[in-house]
Structure 1
């Protein structure tokens, strides 16, 4: 019999998108077994009127309050409301700002949503995302070497979401499926600038994901197809490993990895790849 879960209200108040808060809150919550947060997310809170609505919801459902509010008056008003409702309030960026200010000896500018500015980095990420979407699932292989990363993998190894995540980090990522009896595009074997990496998973994991995919599509006619056959899946994985061994391409097993963890490993490999390219050009 499974343990009962304990629920608590978690209020996330931000004058920007709230992404930072959600990342921190979920990382913290994940460290506590049998505890689950009921999240209340309030993005773009920038006026006293907006804050009053937030406070009314906190008072109706007291819990932990995490916030990122640059406006000190709004922050103080939220802190007061938290004390009244016995809801601890934490400005998660405050200790970070203190360290920066002490070390750099500069004043905080108090710029709301500064990390989301429409600067060169922003447009670089948009360009990477456009490239990635155009090169999903083996499309437009003619300019593969314009990619930063070329991701290979058999069906249901999370190639597309991983590439989209990489694009949001500014990397142009193309993905190419490895399909039995279908040759890979010849352009793949002539790339010089792009880093080629493959993803695999266990036979059990791939079979499970493929089965769920078929069920979601109501594609019952494929139930006995080789697509779900364990021996066929094992052959596909072996083919991937053999190809990468011959070419010297790295392989990442994503069986127990989240997309974020897979992307982090790819970005680490790409930094080493990029450094090696620079060394070649300068030597």
Structure 2
């Protein structure tokens, strides 16, 4: 590709293209110099030969790298043949995975486009989780909070709500409860038996910065206890003591994205579930794997 040309990446799919988008995004963030220059084009729901011919014609006019997840053999043949003719580099991103799965499972893939988006039981469970999470945001509807899979606690602006929504989208019923100075912790929180409870914390400097920006956005005074350094440290100390007293894991979100925070939470959740399974089978003694701070 000439250095003066704008780089193009084409995502061609006979389904929604969401898989390709995720893969391309994960790869592109590793290339800092080119990340902002790359123009990504998504060609989704390409399901007829005529559509594929038109897509490849448009791609050839721009040039670039082609990533595809096309399972229909006829459409793949058109894409590969036309891209080769136009001297375009192509990457069948799912082929190595499908080959490995087929070899390991001893089964041939069905080659059905968009199969992962069918409205199965898992889909409806995610919807149910989302409804639950929205209803139990910010300490609401505590009467049935024990039905949650995960409960997040923490002081204001520690990303409890966005993390809860992300977890709900993964299918986990998630409630979040704020720790507010001067107010008692809800009694229900002390008697949970089902959910994994996780404390979210952040560095005082980071928390003050986020809170100041929040107040400015709301056109409110920034000279309040809400952003007072000593008060913020006291809040964080109270929250940490609460989590330590109950043996709840604590995750520092200061340098984490929402996705990274959620991944750390799900690691705790998976370990707890595995521990429960082993206890039920009599393979491991009861043990509390939580309580320690998560890695920074």
TM (norm. structure 1) is 0.90
Report how far residue 280 of structure 1 moved.
5.7
Report how far residue 52 of structure 1 moved.
3.7
**Farther off after superposition, 140-149 or 83-92:** 83-92
> Which sections of structure 1, spanning at least 5 residues, go unmatched?
1-5
Judged with a 3 Å threshold, the aligned counterparts in structure 2 of structure 1 residues 282 and 108 are, in CA distance, closer, same or farther, namely: closer
Report how far residue 100 of structure 1 moved.
1.7
CA contact (8 A) 2:72 2:112 kept: no
CA contact (8 A) 1:132 1:163 kept: yes
CA contact (8 A) 2:130 2:168 kept: yes
> Aligned partners of 2:71 and 2:86: how far apart in 1?
22
> Aligned partners of 1:49 and 1:237: how far apart in 2?
61
CA contact (8 A) 1:70 1:112 kept: yes
1:22 corresponds to 2:29: no
Give the structure 1 partner of residue 124 of structure 2.
Answer: 123
SS of the counterpart of 1:28?
A: helix
Report how far residue 149 of structure 1 moved.
0.4
CA contact (8 A) 1:129 1:167 kept: yes
Report how far residue 142 of structure 1 moved.
0.9
| CA root-mean-square deviation | 2.1
> Aligned partners of 1:206 and 1:7: how far apart in 2?
39
Tell me the number of residue pairs that the alignment of Structure 1 and Structure 2 aligns: 277
**Farther off after superposition, 201-210 or 149-158:** 201-210
> Aligned partners of 2:138 and 2:109: how far apart in 1?
45
Give the structure 1 partner of residue 206 of structure 2.
Answer: 205
Report how far residue 197 of structure 1 moved.
0.5
Judged with a 3 Å threshold, the aligned counterparts in structure 2 of structure 1 residues 69 and 143 are, in CA distance, closer, same or farther, namely: same
- Mapping of residues 205-244 of structure 1, within 5 Å: 205-215=206-216, 217=217, 219-244=218-243
Report how far residue 279 of structure 1 moved.
5.3
Give the structure 2 partner of residue 78 of structure 1.
Answer: 79
Report how far residue 134 of structure 1 moved.
0.8
Instruction: Summarize deviations over 1:184-236 as a string: whole Å, max 9, x none.
Output: 21111110111110111112222222233333x3x233221222222222222
Runs of 4+ in 1 over 6 A off after TM superposition: none
CA contact (8 A) 1:7 1:35 kept: no
Give the structure 2 partner of residue 165 of structure 1.
Answer: 166
**Farther off after superposition, 188-197 or 27-36:** 27-36
SS of the counterpart of 1:235?
A: helix
Give the structure 1 partner of residue 153 of structure 2.
Answer: 152
> Aligned partners of 2:135 and 2:50: how far apart in 1?
43
Report how far residue 148 of structure 1 moved.
0.6
Report how far residue 277 of structure 1 moved.
4.0
CA contact (8 A) 2:53 2:78 kept: no
Report how far residue 132 of structure 1 moved.
0.8
Judged with a 3 Å threshold, the aligned counterparts in structure 2 of structure 1 residues 7 and 153 are, in CA distance, closer, same or farther, namely: farther
> Which sections of structure 2, spanning at least 5 residues, go unmatched?
283-296
**Farther off after superposition, 152-161 or 249-258:** 152-161
**Farther off after superposition, 22-31 or 130-139:** 22-31
